């Protein structure tokens, strides 16, 4: 035993390898192995019942996929949901970040209150919103009707053209604290002198926002926007709990389509193929994210 240890330490350059091995094994088992399995499954016509009867069918799943209108619908919904929820979350986050960046009384308490939505579990948030959006008892309908935006209470989650806006609403409500925190941190790195210089140079409030605030947030913005889009592409719980992808597939993003195909239609091989496409899309975003961070770090 002693000899073995002694021999190992004859090669100190191998030490990092030894230290990394346990982590590498864990990562392979819980991450890389399932991903590989998932990709592999995409080449089989496996179903959940009678799982072992699945046969290798080459690229057949992908051929079907490219001709599947539901897949293309899903891709469209995903892009729409990604861009809409990202924009609304960002806008909400930036508004409140700008507000909290000023010296307000009770700023600490207000900041804590603004972070709260993020702490609410997604399913709980969804249940509250479903209740608020309810056609008969919902407080949202009540206000919209009273304010004259709606003639009559709407069944938000039952109408194809209203379900997506409702989903975007709850997503941005739930996610904006993340944007708020990141943007607030970004705002606080902008030196006060830059604003003062701009004031002396003749810039009004709007010009200062355009020429000082936004450029000062540039590196934070890129990262935040990528995180928000990535998250929206991966999101399952909230959408599933809210609409399950309906009505009429109006909110069926790729991740929901993958879930439905696997567990509602039980076509697990086909679902794996959809999942693989989603994986590739996320991979592209992750690479962009990764290289952006390296770039930002180098700039700093």
Q: Are 223 and 207 in contact (CB under 8 A)?
A: no
**CB of residue 99 to other proteins, shortest distance in Å:** 22
Binding mask 84-123 for other proteins (x = CB under 8 A): ----------------------------------------
What stretches of 148-267 show up as alpha helix (H) in DSSP?
160-188, 192-200, 205-208, 214-216, 218-234, 237-242, 254-263
Q: Which residue in 86, 166, 184, 212 binds other proteins (CB under 8 A)?
A: 212
- Interaction between residue 200 and other proteins (CB under 8 A): yes
55: left (phi over 0), alpha (psi -120 to 50) or beta: beta
- Interaction between residue 216 and other proteins (CB under 8 A): yes
Residue keyed to tokens 């009678």: 50
- Interaction between residue 63 and other proteins (CB under 8 A): no
> Mapping DSSP to helix (H, G, I), strand (E, B) and coil, where does residue 54 land?
coil
Q: Give CA separation, 169 vs 111, 162, 253, 258, in Å.
A: 21, 11, 16, 23
> Mapping DSSP to helix (H, G, I), strand (E, B) and coil, where does residue 152 land?
coil
- Interaction between residue 215 and other proteins (CB under 8 A): yes
| DSSP track, 82-140 | HHHHHHHHHHHHHHHHHHHTS--TTHHHHHHHHHHHHHS-HHHHHHHHHHHH-TTT-HH
> Mapping DSSP to helix (H, G, I), strand (E, B) and coil, where does residue 56 land?
strand
Binding mask 164-183 for other proteins (x = CB under 8 A): --------------------
User: Using CA of residue 200, residue 204, residue 207, residue 213, what is the dihedral sign?
Assistant: positive
Q: Which residue in 37, 112, 207, 264 binds other proteins (CB under 8 A)?
A: 207
- Interaction between residue 218 and other proteins (CB under 8 A): yes
**CB of residue 105 to other proteins, shortest distance in Å:** 15
Site size toward other proteins, by CB under 8 A: 18
- Interaction between residue 210 and other proteins (CB under 8 A): no
Judged by CB, which is closer to other proteins: 29, or 197? 197
Q: Which residue in 197, 236, 280, 287 binds other proteins (CB under 8 A)?
A: 197
Q: Which residue in 60, 75, 199, 227 binds other proteins (CB under 8 A)?
A: 199
**CB of residue 295 to other proteins, shortest distance in Å:** 14
Q: Residue numbers of the site for other proteins (CB under 8 A)? A: 191, 193-194, 196-204, 207, 211-212, 215-216, 218
């Amino acid at each position: 035993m002693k000899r073995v240890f002694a021999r190992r330490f004859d090669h100190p350059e191998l030490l990092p390898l030894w230290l990394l091995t346990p982590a590498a094994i864990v990562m392979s088992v819980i991450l890389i192995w399932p991903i590989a399995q998932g990709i592999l499954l995409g080449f089989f016509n496996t179903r959940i019942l009678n799982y072992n009867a699945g046969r290798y069918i080459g690229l057949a799943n992908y051929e079907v996929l490219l001709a599947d209108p539901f897949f293309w619908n899903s891709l469209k919904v995903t892009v729409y949901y990604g861009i809409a929820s990202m924009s609304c979350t960002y806008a909400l986050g930036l508004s409140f970040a700008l507000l909290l960046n000023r010296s307000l009384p009770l700023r600490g308490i207000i900041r804590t209150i603004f972070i709260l939505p993020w702490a609410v579990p997604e399913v709980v948030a969804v249940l509250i919103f479903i209740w608020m959006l309810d056609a008969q008892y919902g407080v949202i309908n009540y206000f919209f009707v009273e304010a004259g935006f709606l003639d009559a209470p709407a069944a938000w989650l039952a109408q194809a053209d209203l379900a997506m806006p409702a989903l975007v609403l709850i997503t941005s409500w739930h996610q904006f604290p993340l944007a708020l925190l990141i943007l607030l941190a970004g705002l606080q790195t902008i030196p006060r002198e830059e604003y003062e210089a701009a004031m002396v140079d003749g810039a009004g409030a709007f010009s200062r926002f355009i020429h000082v605030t936004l450029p000062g947030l540039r590196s934070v913005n890129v990262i935040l926007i990528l995180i928000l889009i990535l998250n929206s592409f991966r999101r399952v719980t909230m959408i599933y709990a809210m609409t399950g992808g309906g009505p009429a597939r109006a909110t069926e993003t790729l991740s929901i389509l993958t879930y439905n195909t696997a567990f509602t239609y039980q076509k697990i091989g086909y679902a794996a193929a959809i999942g693989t496409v989603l994986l590739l899309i996320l991979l592209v975003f992750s690479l962009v994210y990764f290289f952006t961070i390296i770039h930002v770090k180098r700039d700093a």
